[in-house]
Structure 1
Amino acid sequence: MSHNTIALNQQRQPLQHLESVWLFGYGSLIYKADFPYLQCKPACIYGWQRRFWQGSHDHRGTPEAPGRVVTLVAADGARCVGMAYQVTPETFEHLDHREKNGYLRFFTELHWLDGFGQEVGVVYVASADNAAYLGPASEADIAAHIAKSQGPSGTNSDYLLQLAQALRMLSEQDEHVFAIEQALLLQLEQR
């Protein structure tokens, strides 16, 4: 599958018939809501874990030297915390462009972190069959990759550090993200 998924998302999952849609963000969407929304609240989804296994050719890297950003991978018993935004269907024109690098939209059940309810929402997931997928590596190797990557949206290091800070603000302990953050900070100190 191509890493530009704009047309595929719009064809597979038209949303114009809906009044509003909940969007679940688990990466930069947690801390960078560059779109209008009706409301937002902390949420989680079950059966998925956040992993720095997706290449970024368009934001935190280039086609010649992609950065590494997060995607979700299925994992029994896992829980992934993020932010949910209630948006109008028109907002997906911007979001589909922002998340075009291999991510497909799926509906999933969102659970509010305050424990009061749930809602069906949309999440973008980049699976192993897209052209930008980089796959697993050790935390040290991922950190080294992130340390040298940069793209039109800034450094890959900034993406990782902002995500780690946003997760702390949500009181979320994500061992994968925090291990890569620690490895990155050690590498940056040694420069």
Structure 2
Amino acid sequence: MSFDTTEHNRRRYCFDGVESVWLFGYGSLIYKVDFPFLEQRPASIEGWARRFWQGSHDHRGTLESPGRVVTLIESPATCCKGMAYRVSPDVFSHLDVREKNGYLRFVTPMIFTDGTREDGLVYIATEDNAAFLGPAEDAEIANQISNAQGPSGRNSDYLLKLATALRTLGDDDPHVFALESYLR
């Protein structure tokens, strides 16, 4: 069973003649920056909410016991805070593999903390991908997260590091913090 979107993302955008691209991170891309960047700035996107609705079969879980990681769902009047990175297009050869488990690249308008705006790329796992788990009760999601582990470590570490990173950004994400409270 494959959830790999790597090649699809590589065909999705042409970077010919482009020196740099903005990338918006809202999950592990906030705290696990394993790629070079030219600039880093807090930013937000409007109309999206962060949810632990994506299965992780390759990083924070296994095929037999998938973990849960965040994706974005459309949510009018919601603002999702994260971190924007200005990167060289060659960084996507690494990121497409890192985000291969059902995530696709989309263009999104971003708002920086100083009010300026730029378009950037964001990885979103839509509900039609094979690894999408969808909504569940917070206690059920937290239980799945607390029991999952994969090649990148414990799923609970992902959640706890994300909660810490969001506090550092000054974000109050009720979904993430509710799940964190179940784990603590």
TM-score tier by shorter-chain length is over 0.9
Q: In 1, distance between residues paired with 2:16 and 2:155?
A: 34
The aligned runs of 1:109-188 (5 Å cut-off) are 109-115=109-115, 117-185=116-184
Q: In 1, distance between residues paired with 2:103 and 2:14?
A: 15
Deviations, residues 20-39 of structure 1 (Å, cap 9, x unaligned): 00000000000011000001
Deviations, residues 127-163 of structure 1 (Å, cap 9, x unaligned): 1100000000011110000000000000000000000
Partner of 2:78: 78
Partner of 1:14: 14
Q: In 1, distance between residues paired with 2:172 and 2:111?
A: 17
Partner of 1:25: 25
CA shift at 1:78, angstroms? 0.8
Partner of 2:53: 53
8 Å CA contact 1:140–1:184 kept in 2: the answer is no
CA shift at 1:114, angstroms? 2.8
CA shift at 1:14, angstroms? 2.4
8 Å CA contact 1:108–1:122 kept in 2: the answer is yes
Q: Which moved more, 1:147-156 or 1:5-14?
A: 5-14
Number of aligned pairs?
183
CA shift at 1:8, angstroms? 0.5
TM-score (norm 2): 0.97
* 5+ long unaligned stretches in structure 1: 186-191
AA aligned to 2:70 is: V
TM-score (norm 1): 0.94
SS of the residue corresponding to residue 90 of structure 1 reads helix
Q: In 2, distance between residues paired with 1:135 and 1:86?
A: 31
Q: In 1, distance between residues paired with 2:101 and 2:13?
A: 17
8 Å CA contact 1:16–1:89 kept in 2: the answer is no
* 5+ long unaligned stretches in structure 2: none
* Identity %, equivalent residues: 61
CA shift at 1:16, angstroms? 3.8
Q: In 1, distance between residues paired with 2:90 and 2:16?
A: 7
CA shift at 1:183, angstroms? 1.0
Which 4+ stretches in 1 moved above 4 angstroms? none
The CA RMSD over aligned residues, in Å, is 0.8
Q: Give the 3 Å change call, closer, same or farther, for CA 92–16 of structure 1 in structure 2.
A: farther
